[in-house]
Structure 1
């Protein structure tokens, strides 16, 4: 294995042998990551010799990917809503489907300024940071039970230059203040389903970010019941949901006094987001 072309062919073949779904793409992305080359550069220089250090690092990464360790955990980066985020084994890898949640919250926030946002179960912080990057003079609080997840979120906010208040808390236990918007992508996979997920997810992503308990709805019930105490009048609660949870979560919201409850679909036509607005009676002193 001497040239860039040899390396890429090795990577493709090895990942195919390991039954990696996107073997060709992942082999290229890891080569790009290791050597810092672009596709256009590669097509002109594919027969040039690759350095021994790059070969060694590339082989190690290919073997790790062959064990189904997620690509993003190997490169320590993931892209979400056009922004680059640091990720590791302590956070859920941002998914494109989640961008539907960001789009909907931004749509509901049009022409509003100085909004206060809270992101419950923030993980890497990608949802909150994407929202703050696209809202005028908004402020945000990110909440997670995992200290290690919050370390990742803090790193992302620092690297992106977006100021956020991060709180380690079991749901709302240590939350204070009132908010215009509460957004959440909580654990929502049924416990019994997790073992049937692809290895990249069930073996390498944090179980606490996946497991929604027996029916997958525990966190939706808890957050919906408590969120009203922390939302301002006409405040918005917005969830990412699993494809089969739209009816149940929208019912929870209606039962807890939310109006204008709607279920939105992702690009595949599957239920992905539920939003609602809460109206509070004015308190006269």
Structure 2
């Protein structure tokens, strides 16, 4: 193998990723080089003039080959940033996404002591809320055993294990007690929309976390049907939605008896969260 400097390797990788249709090839090439060299991404510039050691070059080649077939960067490096923290992720859970931070902001707008996260996945919502609200306790449930293990690992990583209970559950089936905050980022992509997703999402993220296999509203129907049994007095419920689902989910919440139902937009002005409250 001809030795290259880090800068030369990164340029070549960028061209290769661009040809493969990767959206931001230069950014990904930089992140993956940092991972291969076991340094922070901010230090890549410092090693740019240096020749890559053979073992680093081999690791980088493997990472770029996998990224070229659209394996997500987060799966290659094993983590994803969310609300200022690093969360461990894998192909068993949905990647934490910036849009979900809107749900976090809405949840933190008022204090809470008991939070329930339905479909916790990586645990990014539950763990973030407990890390931000340090006197609160929470329960995260997910149908996937692998997701429960991932959420538990992230709870340990961020020092909230003593306040976080994670259980395998089909929505409310293993839930007891009442909560002053219930949150969820459920599978909301309709079966018809699945083909429109990027290769990274459609091929490498768990289908059960993306779609209900129907119209994208099944999870909201289940939540709306049962949520009042688990909400404390004045308790709040908020769910992430797809940008076209605000009216439908709001109607489900209103028909279920929730009050003060409203839609919260994301930073681009698209519908992102539906909020409801238990009446006094």
Q: CA deviation at 1:45?
A: 3.9
Distance 1:177 1:42, change over 3 A: closer
> What residue is the counterpart of 2:272 in the other structure?
272
CA–CA separation in structure 1 for the residues paired with 2:152 and 2:42: 35
1:222 aligns with 2:217: no
> What residue is the counterpart of 2:128 in the other structure?
130
| Residue pairs, 1:31-110, within 5 angstroms | 31-38=33-40, 41-109=43-111
Q: CA deviation at 1:36?
A: 3.1
Q: CA deviation at 1:11?
A: 1.0
Q: CA deviation at 1:40?
A: 6.0
- Output the TM-score relative to the length of structure 1: 0.94
| Residue pairs, 1:1-285, within 5 angstroms | 1-38=3-40, 41-109=43-111, 115-163=113-161, 164-280=164-280
CA–CA separation in structure 1 for the residues paired with 2:199 and 2:217: 23
Kindly tell me the number of residue pairs found equivalent between the two proteins.
276
Q: CA deviation at 1:42?
A: 3.9
SS in 1 for 2:244: coil
Q: CA deviation at 1:213?
A: 3.0
- Are the counterparts in 1 of residues 189 and 212 from structure 2 also a CA contact under 8 Å? yes
CA–CA separation in structure 2 for the residues paired with 1:59 and 1:44: 20
Q: CA deviation at 1:94?
A: 0.4
38-47 vs 128-137, greater mean Cα deviation: 38-47
| Structure 1 residues 86-132: Cα deviation after superposition (integer angstroms, max 9, x where no partner) | 000000000000000000010032xx5xx110000000000011111
CA–CA separation in structure 2 for the residues paired with 1:39 and 1:222: 43
Q: CA deviation at 1:41?
A: 4.2
Distance 1:186 1:47, change over 3 A: same
Q: CA deviation at 1:47?
A: 1.9
Unaligned runs of 5+ in 1: 281-285
Distance 1:42 1:214, change over 3 A: closer
SS in 2 for 1:203: helix
> What residue is the counterpart of 1:283 in the other structure?
none
| Structure 1 residues 159-215: Cα deviation after superposition (integer angstroms, max 9, x where no partner) | 111121011011111111111111000000001211221100100000000013321
- Are the counterparts in 1 of residues 195 and 202 from structure 2 also a CA contact under 8 Å? yes
SS in 1 for 2:61: helix
CA–CA separation in structure 2 for the residues paired with 1:212 and 1:155: 26
Q: CA deviation at 1:37?
A: 3.8
CA–CA separation in structure 1 for the residues paired with 2:43 and 2:93: 33
Distance 1:80 1:147, change over 3 A: same
